[in-house]
Structure 1
């Protein structure tokens, strides 16, 4: 018989592996799209205005503030991709926290009977099977799968 520690470590490892893979598959694409759109859509950088006490030689400025301006530009280029990542992770943390608290509140207030829970679980399982069959291209289930209204799709696309 397996020990409690072994069962805990196996279930925790399985949960972390499945959760990490699911998160990477679903939200990794959203994050990559946000970062990619931001970095490819940037306008070309303009040259910095000429500072007092510097002289222009060809295409390069020479002066006492050149190295500090170069360091600031390097810091800005490094920080640019981090802004959408930080915003994405902050939004994800806040939304998951608020929705978890809301669901926890409703879950504590509503205690469905075992029969109601069984019906809800069976209905969710049937819906998942229908969605899977629809994704695989089975034509017979296409009309059984619930779809969002066309107006909602247009609103999301805008």
Structure 2
């Protein structure tokens, strides 16, 4: 395995464990809930087959995305629209589950080891925000092996949460499960919609953090921003207006902040972004998932 593939495998594993556990389990867990909603679904081995199918589909998708490279990379606005659509889909599913009082399952009721991996593979059709971010990383890798490694690592990182969900599903009543599932899924859907609106810049302008007094802050044509797993530091940086400015993005941790959307384009970090002269005011940028934002105050 190449150094690039090994690094993306480790990064995908970390993203799955840290960021993907809650969001992907909530948005994609409906398929696993459908599997567990029938008598045959009580077989714990079926959860393993479900996870195997999920691993296969994500790894194949990562290889294809890495092979095709940036030729198919969707712009930030398109990804934002996908996030909003995914969030709406999850909320619709949640409402239907709560109204029925049970989780959807195959109509014929014959859940088998052949259908379990197919349901697991189908989770890639219900993307959460972290999934879209990992797909973008696979695209930017430009390598089928590296793209497959990134997606496989991500699935491995989220596997414990799906295994735990499968365990819980076998031990709670379908009515109670439907209510709990609906509430969690609605919350996840609203979060996903918010991330999409934030990524697309469609939310009302956020109030940037208060800047320090002018005498206490240097104003420069070169600024440095660190990308951490909890956001960008400092959250607000000063810069000179009316002259070209360089923003040096450095990466402290792996995560969704490793890609920044600034000026309507994606930038993989670490990187130096050169901006033309800007008018006085505040420039906002966000991570590739729309979760974290930072600000540059031009004065």
Q: TM-score, normalised by structure 2?
A: 0.22
Q: Which has the higher helix share?
A: 1
Question: Which of the pair has more CA radius of gyration?
Answer: 1
Q: TM-score, normalised by structure 1?
A: 0.37
